[in-house]
Structure 1
Amino acid sequence: MTVLHDLYREHGQSPWLDNLRREWLENGELARWVERGVRGITSNPSIFQKTMTSGCEYDHQLVELLAGGLSVNDAYWELVLTDIGGALDVLAPVHEASDGVDGFVSVEVDPTLARDTEGTLAAARAIHQRVNRPNLYVKIPGTAEGLPAIQAMTAEGRSINVTLLFSLSRYAEVIEAYLCGLEACEGDLSRVSGVASFFISRTDTEVDRRLEAIGTPEALALRGQAAVAQGQVAYQIFRQKFSGPRWAALSARGARVQRPLWASTSTKNPAYPDTLYVDRLIGPDTVNTLPDATLEAFLDHGTPARTVDADPDIARAVLDRVSGVGVDLEAVAGRLENEGVSAFVRSFEDLLASLVATADRLMGGDR
């Protein structure tokens, strides 16, 4: 038993691993993480860009795929879905034992579609239909254009991880899309699942930059507080939305809540504790997806205690004070959303270019 098991059994939070490497599937490292208490996996284009360009583990399959006539883009998806399939196998027992609460593996649609509703919807459907596993989450960006796709996929009975959330207002819209999708779904609602991924540390990075630019003592005293406060207020919104008559009607049909998932939970500022974004956001019906280094830190010296709703009034007061000194949190969220989409697109495009270069090196020719 580890502190990760305590996190789930005593406090209702599911620790997930925000990383996936093929070597972990082959050498049993991923299975060992599950034994230590990890209950799900998230991936994104940046993770695949890093793992596919750091060695030669993918070279043999890449050559076979290209020799078989696939384009580099199609070969990329074969490589990705091979890893996702292996992870789904490892997490399947967790999914079964938890009655479908955990054991999910997330894969993101083509990030270049983040502003394309119909393209996102088609891509998400294609991945769901191809993989066809009950513990798969397809990740759809929580952009304005992504909202209709989230609602439509939920209405079709497909499970979605909504990613790249930075604002409370957009989070409320994502919950509304999920609820509307459930209401329109004619299938078994107990088979539909969802999480909404609120990015945490990046908010502090941008808010702190603006607070330092303001430079007043009051502004500087607020550094390192906005991200946790925003997550805690998001949890209040979650509790409010998934209660009352509307939710009771859906719950009676077997519906599951769309759990808030804390993402980007490694600290970017070395002056902050390395478990800051874990220790302060623990509570029932939540997920925290952590890079392996942050998981190791929490295993070593984390504090498993319910904190996410310890003092909601203080959390709201922090956000009010941040706004009061001149930081526009909606503007912060807009900037971070654009930067997040752009970062994933760059990783995706850089990876495709790297695969082209690898193919040319291994096979010769101009691709």
Structure 2
Amino acid sequence: MSDRLKALADAGVSIWLDDLSRERIETGNLAQLVEESSVVGVTTNPTIFAGAIADGERYDAQVRSLVADGADVERVIFALTTDDVRNACDVLAEVASAHPADGRVSIEVEPLLANDTEGTVASAKALWKSVDRPNALIKIPATLEGLPAITEVIAEGISVNVTLIFSTERYRAVMDAYMSGLERAKEAGIDLGTIASVASFFVSRVDTEIDARLDAIGSDAALALRGKAAVANARLAYAAYQEVVASERWQALAAAGAKAQRPLWASTGVKNPDYPDTLYVADLVVADTVNTMPEKTLRAFADHGEVTGDQVTGRGEEAQALFDELAALGVDLDDVFLTLESEGVDKFKASWTELVETVQAQMSQVGA
């Protein structure tokens, strides 16, 4: 086992792999990562599935059978992805049994529904029913239309990974949506202890967007702040999380058996080669959080990542001071987050188009 990854896990960070493929499942690679690399969860998205399907032949037989049965591309995608997530849930079932907050595998609602509340709810219910595993998580975007969908789905006892969160303001709305769903679930007599949730707060994209604006400003003061906003933004989010879990509203839900919606640091692969490749892991170490990493980042941390204690708790004021500096320099933070969400939704949808085109090509190939 990697001592560095074990140290990260011992610090209270749940390590989730941001990747999944049928090859990982069938060759035992996923089980090996659980055994040797402290991996205790998996996140997926359509781009990940598109790459898995395009690169391997392990899907051919199932695609051929579905095509012969008259399935359209949406049905084929649904079958392939839910099968992989169900099987990954089984690989992680022992982890989930020992540590119910972990052992989770996430699957996204159809991205074209990002601005459709009712459609998102229907998609989430269909995915939850098909995967049929208690350690699954259904990913719902934190768009304005996604917020009521989160409440509705949680209220029915479905576990949720809220994705595409960029601002602390939206994060607070996500936490409110989660608690509203739990309150409704409680009224319906659902065991709150069976409901799990994480809130995926995106990290690296914040630096990418704000760094570009700092470069455009060009002053020494502006350039000195490059590469600092993303970590500060996550620390502000964690301060908001601490505030909410200390509230009377949350304490009442916790007393009824509810589990906290843990912060999850997403988009933790470093995009700027000038920055340390473990930046968004090492600088965001804090207990009871999740860090979902692409394998490249996982391997980098295993090789040279350093755990130097809690890097987040009590640093909200420091983070706010940095954001005040950014604002004073002319960085429009409201516009930053609007831009990131808009681009995130666009990427979300483009990812789905990529998956559809990949599966259509596969269907044509096996049907030829």
Tell me if TM exceeds 0.5: yes
Alpha-carbon shift at residue 310 of structure 1 (Å) = 5.2
Q: Which runs of 5+ in 1 are unaligned?
A: none
Please tell me the residue identity of whatever aligns with 1:350: E
Alignment counterpart, residue 332 of structure 1, candidates 329, 336, 348 = 336
Runs of 4 or more, structure 1, over 4 Å off, are: none
Tell me the distance in 1 between the aligned counterparts of 2:353 and 2:115.
Answer: 16
1:104 aligned residue? 104
Match runs of 1:304-319 below 5 Å: 304=307, 305-309=309-313, 311-319=315-323
Moved more, 324-333 or 293-302: 324-333
Tell me the distance in 1 between the aligned counterparts of 2:254 and 2:361.
Answer: 51
Tell me the distance in 2 between the aligned counterparts of 1:199 and 1:336.
Answer: 10
1:43 aligned residue? 44
Tell me the distance in 1 between the aligned counterparts of 2:219 and 2:191.
Answer: 55
Match status 1:295 vs 2:302? no
2:229 aligned residue? 226
Alignment RMSD (CA, Å): 1.2
Please tell me the residue identity of whatever aligns with 1:330: D
1:85 aligned residue? 86
1:273 aligned residue? 276
Moved more, 347-356 or 199-208: 347-356
1:158 aligned residue? 158
1:60 aligned residue? 61
Moved more, 233-242 or 56-65: 56-65
Q: Deviations over 1:95-151 (max 9, x none)?
A: 0011x1110000000000000000001110111122221100000000000000001
Tell me the distance in 1 between the aligned counterparts of 2:57 and 2:346.
Answer: 27
Q: Indicate if the aligned counterparts of 1:114 and 1:143 stay in contact, CA closer than 8 A.
A: yes
Moved more, 159-168 or 48-57: 48-57
1:321 aligned residue? 325
Tell me the SS of whatever aligns to 2:92: helix
Q: Indicate if the aligned counterparts of 1:53 and 1:351 stay in contact, CA closer than 8 A.
A: no
Alpha-carbon shift at residue 355 of structure 1 (Å) = 2.0
Please tell me the residue identity of whatever aligns with 1:329: L
Match status 1:252 vs 2:255? yes
Match runs of 1:96-245 below 5 Å: 96-98=97-99, 100-186=100-186, 187-245=190-248
Q: Indicate if the aligned counterparts of 1:167 and 1:329 stay in contact, CA closer than 8 A.
A: no
Match status 1:69 vs 2:58? no
Q: How many matched pairs?
A: 362
Q: Indicate if the aligned counterparts of 2:82 and 2:130 stay in contact, CA closer than 8 A.
A: no
Alpha-carbon shift at residue 216 of structure 1 (Å) = 1.2
Tell me the distance in 1 between the aligned counterparts of 2:73 and 2:253.
Answer: 44
Tell me the distance in 2 between the aligned counterparts of 1:357 and 1:26.
Answer: 23
Tell me the distance in 1 between the aligned counterparts of 2:197 and 2:210.
Answer: 28
Alpha-carbon shift at residue 165 of structure 1 (Å) = 0.6
Please tell me the residue identity of whatever aligns with 2:340: L
Tell me the SS of whatever aligns to 1:185: helix
Q: Indicate if the aligned counterparts of 1:199 and 1:262 stay in contact, CA closer than 8 A.
A: yes
1:5 aligned residue? 6
Moved more, 349-358 or 258-267: 349-358
Q: Indicate if the aligned counterparts of 2:195 and 2:259 stay in contact, CA closer than 8 A.
A: yes
Q: Deviations over 1:186-214 (max 9, x none)?
A: 31111111100001001100100011011
Tell me the SS of whatever aligns to 1:39: strand
Q: Indicate if the aligned counterparts of 1:39 and 1:91 stay in contact, CA closer than 8 A.
A: yes
Alignment counterpart, residue 354 of structure 2, candidates 326, 350, 354 = 350
Tell me the distance in 2 between the aligned counterparts of 1:126 and 1:52.
Answer: 22
Please tell me the residue identity of whatever aligns with 1:4: L
Q: Indicate if the aligned counterparts of 2:47 and 2:354 stay in contact, CA closer than 8 A.
A: no
Q: Indicate if the aligned counterparts of 2:150 and 2:177 stay in contact, CA closer than 8 A.
A: yes
Alpha-carbon shift at residue 248 of structure 1 (Å) = 1.6
Tell me the distance in 1 between the aligned counterparts of 2:360 and 2:15.
Answer: 36
Q: Indicate if the aligned counterparts of 2:42 and 2:106 stay in contact, CA closer than 8 A.
A: yes
TM-score (structure 2 length as normaliser): 0.96
Q: Deviations over 1:282-336 (max 9, x none)?
A: 1111100000110011111111221112533211111111111111222111111
Tell me the SS of whatever aligns to 2:106: strand
Tell me the SS of whatever aligns to 2:356: helix
Tell me the distance in 2 between the aligned counterparts of 1:107 and 1:188.
Answer: 23
Tell me the distance in 1 between the aligned counterparts of 2:153 and 2:105.
Answer: 17
Q: Indicate if the aligned counterparts of 1:41 and 1:289 stay in contact, CA closer than 8 A.
A: yes
Percentage identity across aligned positions? 49
Alpha-carbon shift at residue 166 of structure 1 (Å) = 0.7
Tell me the distance in 2 between the aligned counterparts of 1:114 and 1:311.
Answer: 33
Please tell me the residue identity of whatever aligns with 1:77: F
Tell me the SS of whatever aligns to 2:269: coil
Alpha-carbon shift at residue 220 of structure 1 (Å) = 0.9
Moved more, 13-22 or 49-58: 49-58
